[in-house]
């Protein structure tokens, strides 16, 4: 388990810190909350568990889950308005401290951009620093699939985003923090991966992450 002082040193030496969103920055899994809202919670939650454990290719799991949910544009908007995601305790302070130190903060998520942008706005993270999947809708608002060209729509996608960030901004050191297998596999190209178990513990990540943390309130007052 990484200590407070070690984690502070890691973050302070980074050019950028990239956070997963579901079960890391927020306490919920966004797709599970959407499934609950649409009345298909049980089947989708099991698929999410297998996908985050690395047992199923991410794009296949995402396709299967969305085929069950079939969310409309209105349902997504109502979910955000009526059941907004809950920030993980300590994340607001952590992001603020990083930003005060001119460390760039990015959200890289296999979840949905509409939800992730809502979270980003609560943390003063610009939408240009958000990478997530885009849902597609027909003109009448019915579900029409998702943008499969987004790097976050497939296994290894978060690593592709980090590689892009390094090439674009010439970052020398990027820290990735998240709870799932798709986060852990982003290192490399991320220079450090911190497995976060404050909301849910993924056994594969617990067993294999070089660094692990149970909470994000890591800054001394």
pTM for the model: 0.80
Catalytic residue chosen out of the listed positions 15, 22, 147, 179:
22
List the CATH code of the domain at 33-83. 1.10.150.210
Q: What is the pLDDT of residues 157-191, one digit of tens each?
A: 888 899 889 988 888 888 888 877 777 777 788 88
Furthest-apart CA atoms within the chain: distance in Å = 53
What pLDDT does residue 218 have?
Answer: 41
CATH of domain 4-28+86-213: 3.40.50.1000
Note the pLDDT tens digit of each residue in 185-194: 777 888 888 8
Active site (annotated) includes residue 42: no
Q: Report residue 206 CA to chain centroid gap.
A: 17
**Would 4-28+86-213 and 33-83 be classified into the same CATH topology?**
no
Question: Which residue out of 15, 20, 191, 220 is catalytically annotated?
Answer: 20
Residues of the chain with pLDDT under 50: 211-221
- The domain segmentation of the chain, as residue ranges, is 4-28+86-213, 33-83
For position 105, what pLDDT does the model report? 93
Q: Is 22 among the residues known to form the active site?
A: yes
């Amino acid at each position: 388990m990484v200590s407070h002082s070690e984690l502070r040193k890691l973050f302070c030496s980074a050019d950028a810190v990239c956070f997963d969103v579901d079960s890391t920055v927020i306490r919920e899994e966004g797709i599970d909350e959407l499934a609950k809202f649409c009345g298909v919670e049980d089947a989708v939650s099991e698929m999410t568990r297998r996908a985050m454990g690395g047992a199923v290719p991410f794009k296949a799991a995402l396709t299967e889950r969305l085929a069950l949910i079939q969310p409309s544009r209105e349902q997504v908007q109502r979910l955000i308005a009526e059941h907004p995601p809950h920030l993980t305790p300590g994340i607001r302070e952590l992001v603020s401290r990083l930003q005060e130190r001119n460390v760039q903060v990015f959200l890289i998520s296999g979840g949905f951009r509409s939800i992730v942008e809502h979270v980003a706005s609560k943390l003063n993270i610009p939408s240009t620093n958000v990478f997530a999947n885009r849902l597609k809708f027909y003109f009448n608002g019915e579900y029409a699939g998702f943008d499969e060209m987004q790097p976050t729509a497939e296994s290894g996608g978060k690593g592709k985003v980090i590689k892009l960030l390094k090439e674009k901004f010439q970052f020398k050191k990027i820290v990735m923090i998240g709870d799932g297998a798709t986060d852990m596999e982003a290192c490399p190209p991320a220079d450090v991966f911190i497995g976060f178990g404050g909301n849910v513990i993924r056994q594969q990540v617990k067993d294999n992450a070089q660094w692990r943390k149970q909470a994000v309130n890591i800054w001394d007052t």
